[in-house]
Structure 1
Amino acid sequence: AAPSASSSASPSAKAAADPDTTAKAKPKPPSSKALDYAYQAQINYFYCGPAAVRNALSATGIERSQDALAGPLGTTEMGTNSAEDTTRVLNQQVKGNPYRTRMIPAGSATPAQMDRLQADVVEAISNGRAVVANVAGDVTDTNGGWHSFPGGHYVAVVGYKNDGRLVRIADSADPSLPSYWVTTIDLAHWIASRGYSA
C-alpha cells in the first residue's frame, strides 16, 4: 500500500519540481455578449452595406456617416459588391486589420461553415467587434418574424447568446425592427452564396 500512496502524492511533487511551461489557454469567452452600438437605419434603398458597416463600427466607438462609407465601399444603386469590400473598409477604420472575409460559396452552408461562423462571431464580439454579413434570401427570426432579401442585403451581427448558437442581428432595413435574434445555423444558410467580415 505504501508505493501506491507515494505514487498518488508524486504528481504534485513532480509539478513543483518541473514547472509547467506550456502556453496558458486563452480565457474562455463569455457564453453570451452584446455590444453597445448606435443603430441607424439605411438612408436609402441601396445603402444597406454602408449602414451595416456604420452600425458595426459604432460598436467599436468609431462614428462614420453612411455617405462617408459608401464611396470606399464602392456602393452604387446596385448595392455593395461583396464581403471583400466590407472587410477592406472595416480594416481601413479599425486599428490592426482585425477583419477577415469568409465566404460560404455554395447555396447552403456545411456544418463546418456553421461551426466556423459561430467561432468567428464569438471571437469578434468577445473582442468588441461586430460582424458584417452579406445575406441573400430569407430567414425567420426566433420570434417568428420573416426577413426576406432576395436580391441580397447586409446586416451587422452585434451580439450572441448560448455560446454563439444564437446571434443578434442589427438590420438597417426597417427602423421599426432594428434588431432581432436568429440561430447561427440559419444565419449561415442566409449568408450562403455570399460571405461575411469577422
Structure 2
Amino acid sequence: MTFVNRWLPAITETPIRKTALGIAGLAVVGGAFAGPAIAMDSPNPASPTAASVTANIADIDKRAPSKVLDYQYKAQENFYYCAPAATRIALTAQGQAPSQDDVAKQLGTTEAGTNSAEDTTRVLNKAGGKDYRTVALPDTTTKPAQMDKLQVDVVNAIDAKRPVVANIKGTATDVDGTPHSYEGGHYLTVVGYDDHGRKVKIADPANPNQSEYWMSTINLANWAAERGYSA
C-alpha cells in the first residue's frame, strides 16, 4: 500500500473549535507562537532521498502493522504549556513522570510558548530518551519524501518506545472527519501507529475531552509544515 495524492494539501481552514481549555486556534491555546520553522534536521542535516525512504518503508512494511505505547495522559495545566505537557506525555512512556513545571523550565517555556522542536528534542534526550533528533519541515507545503520520512520516523521511534513530539500549526482533520485547529501553534504527542505508520495515534494535551485521536500521517506531515518534530 502506498500514499496517494501527496501533492494535495491535507489542511483546510475551518471554523475555530472551542475546547475545554479555551478557543483552539487562538494563539493562547497550545502556546502562543509555539515554534518557528527550524533550519535543518539535527544533528543530521541531510535531506531524505526518495530511494532511501522507499527502502526504509519496505523494511517497516515487514514489521507488525500496528503498535501503541502505554503512557500517562495529563492535559496542559495552562494556556501555554502545550510543549511541556506533550513532552511529559512522551517521557511517561519511558517510565518518567516529571511535573509540567519542571519540564517547562527545561524547555525555556514562557507565556509566548516554546521556541521549537529543537527544545523538545534537547529535553527528551537530557531526560533519558535515547536517540531523539529534530526533523525540520521548513517549507509551507510538506513534500512527499518528507511525508514518507515521517512515516518511517514514527514507526522506528514507537518501536523503540520513543513517542514523537510534533510542533504543528493550523487545522488538520482526523480519521473520523473531526477538525483540530491550532492557528497560533501547538505541540502534541504521537503515541502509536497503524497500517505500518500510515496512520498515527495522537495524544493531544489541549483538550481532555478529545485527548486521543487517529490521523493519517499525510495530514500530520502537512500540519507540521514550517515546523518539525522530535523523533
Q: State the partner residue of 2:162.
A: 129
2:200 to 167, 176, 179: 167
| Cα shift at 1:29 | 3.3
Q: State the partner residue of 2:71.
A: 37
- The 8 Å contact of residues 29 and 122 in structure 1, kept in 2 or not, is answered as no
User: Larger C-alpha radius of gyration, 1 or 2?
Assistant: 1
Question: C-alpha deviations, 1:121-180, integer Å up to 9, x for none?
Answer: 000001111000000001011111110001100000000000000000000000011110
Q: State the partner residue of 1:46.
A: 80
What is the TM-score when the length of structure 2 is the normalising length? 0.73
- Computed over aligned residues only, the root mean square deviation of the Cα atoms, in angstroms, reads 1.5
Tell me: CA distance 1:166–1:27, structure 2 relative to 1, closer, same or farther (3 Å).
Answer: closer
1:125-164 correspondence runs (5 A) = 125-164=158-197
- The 8 Å contact of residues 60 and 155 in structure 2, kept in 1 or not, is answered as no
- The 8 Å contact of residues 29 and 123 in structure 1, kept in 2 or not, is answered as no
Q: Does 1:190 align with 2:223?
A: yes
More helix by share: 1
The one-letter code of the counterpart of 1:138 is T
Q: Distance in 1 between matches of 2:230 and 2:117?
A: 6
- The 8 Å contact of residues 29 and 126 in structure 1, kept in 2 or not, is answered as no
The one-letter code of the counterpart of 2:219 is D
Q: Does 1:115 align with 2:163?
A: no
**Count of residue pairs the alignment pairs up:** 173
| Cα shift at 1:68 | 0.5
Runs of 4+ in 1 over 4 A off after TM superposition: 25-28
Stretches of structure 2 that go unaligned for 5 or more consecutive residues are 1-58
Question: C-alpha deviations, 1:12-71, integer Å up to 9, x for none?
Answer: xxxxxxxxxxxxx99943210000000000000000000000001111111111100001
